[in-house]
Structure 1
Amino acid sequence: MDIDQLKQDIVTASHVLHQQGIAAAFGHVSARIPGTDTFVFPPRMSPALVRKDNLLVLNVEGDQLSGNGRPNTEFWIHARIYKARPDVQSVCHVHPPNCVILGSLGETIRPLHASGAIFKNNVQVFDPITLIRTRELGDQVAQTLGAHGAMLLRGHGVNVADKDVRRVCVMTLWMEEAANYQLRAMSAGKPRYFTPEELEHMYSQVSPEEVSNRAWDYFSSLIET
């Protein structure tokens, strides 16, 4: 994928997350420039306002290499996850309300519906109450994420990391959907979460790229970029 398409995917994902109510004035999606320790990252503005011509390039040490304007203050989330995880090609940090509420209850994502199975039982929890504005905190976040693809930051938001912008965007939407269903089930009674066997079975059905691509095609059709 060329850099221009990478930037377009960041713009589209940013607008999708805003349109779906996952990101308002704050939040950010980034993408690694393939084969490098640099990444494309938005400036300090709402995801709704992100455009290809205002994107920045940073490296994993936090240096801004190109672009005008200042990066979002929590760029260390992205920089240090990329540093720790060469396999990760895209990172999203947003503040989905249901995920934040779920985290405030001392819970994490426990799958009970199809799309939620994409996370298995591997959503990590970062407990300190703080914004991630230093290299050291970025390293702690990356360590908490470990080899997994998603995490809750208690009282704050979520991080999702995966192999490309489109999948990260869809997984972020699915994470908020899973939190919504879980909260509703918890308020109605005792949820019947997937057993390990059910989880593995459903994961095999929802994890293929064609599934997330179909979701991306739908959500991206709803916005103009």
Structure 2
Amino acid sequence: MRDTLAKTVRVAARALGRAGLVHAYGHCSARIDADQFLVCPSRPMGLVRPGEACTTVPVTGALPAGVLGEVRLHQRIYQARPQAGGVVRFMSPNMMALAALGRVPRMRHGFATYFAPGVGLWDDVQLVRDDDKAAGVIAAMGESAGVLMRGNGAVVAGASLEEAVGLAWYLEDVCRVELAALSAGLADTAPVIGPEAAAARATRAGLIFERMWDHLTDGDPERADAAPPSPPSPLAD
């Protein structure tokens, strides 16, 4: 099981790199159990090699040698959210621009509804390399699936790493739409989605995240071993 999970972590890392959601910086992880998770190698995610070792990290306690300091964010999420199975720390272009403005996107299209009641904001440009700052970021995240860090990227959490990768892609697109609204001068007047409509729209049915995973990981050398192909469904959208 752990070997298969490690393959999924590597596939996710490379997918995030190919999608332009990370560059030299960023990391992803998948929960093993209540006490441990696997984090990708401490190198640019797009350069992670097939078969390269991932590192087991305790959910509570000191980070192992060689693990990046901001992996404390992963620890805090896994501690606070027993249902979280995957975490992505990323630095995509539109999200970085919006975060640098100290703004969070509003719920303007379907992808945004997966972050209800709203994306959090950690209003501090410093790197998050200690437990106090990590705790602050996760507190700012609140009940959302994502949080922006001003001038310093974002973190998302999902029920699985596959879902977290999809959420990272969604958040980048949500920020793209918000920047478009700002550029058009319509940010204050354009429609937003209310709580009831958001709850209905944020569905997991119809292989929503499975199809995004297939899209982002297609062609990866370890893809077949990391996760089986999604079964066809007559109910798919």
Instruction: Normalising by structure 1, report the TM-score.
Output: 0.88
- Aligned equivalent of 2:159: 163
- Aligned equivalent of 2:110: 114
The structure 2 residue matched to 1:148, chosen from 144, 148, 153, is: 144
Gaps of 5+ in 1: none
The offset of 1:47, in angstroms, is: 0.5
Cα offsets for 1:25-84 (capped at 9, x unmatched): 1100001112x211101232111122443211111234356xxx7112211111122122
- Aligned equivalent of 2:93: 97
| Matches for 1:156-195 after TM superposition, within 5 Å | 156-191=152-187, 192-195=190-193
> What is the total number of aligned residue pairs between the two structures?
218
Cα offsets for 1:163-204 (capped at 9, x unmatched): 101000011011001111221122123142323154344324
Where is the helix percentage greater, Structure 1 or Structure 2? 1
Give me the identity figure in percent: 27
CA RMSD, 1 decimal: 2.0
Change in 2 beyond 3 A, CA 1:195/1:74: closer
Gaps of 5+ in 2: 223-237
Change in 2 beyond 3 A, CA 1:137/1:106: closer
Tell me, yes or no, if the aligned pair for 2:24 and 2:43 is still in contact at 8 Å: yes
Q: Distance in 2 between matches of 1:157 and 1:179?
A: 12
| AA at the equivalent of 2:12 | A
Instruction: Normalising by structure 2, report the TM-score.
Output: 0.84
Higher mean C-alpha displacement, 13-22 vs 134-143: 134-143
- Aligned equivalent of 1:27: 26
Q: Distance in 2 between matches of 1:209 and 1:155?
A: 35
1:4 is aligned to 2:3: yes
Give the 4+ runs in structure 1 shifted more than 6 A.
Answer: none
| AA at the equivalent of 1:18 | G
Higher mean C-alpha displacement, 74-83 vs 185-194: 185-194
Tell me, yes or no, if the aligned pair for 1:24 and 1:48 is still in contact at 8 Å: yes
Higher mean C-alpha displacement, 108-117 vs 14-23: 108-117
1:55 is aligned to 2:51: no
- Aligned equivalent of 1:71: 67
| AA at the equivalent of 1:38 | Q
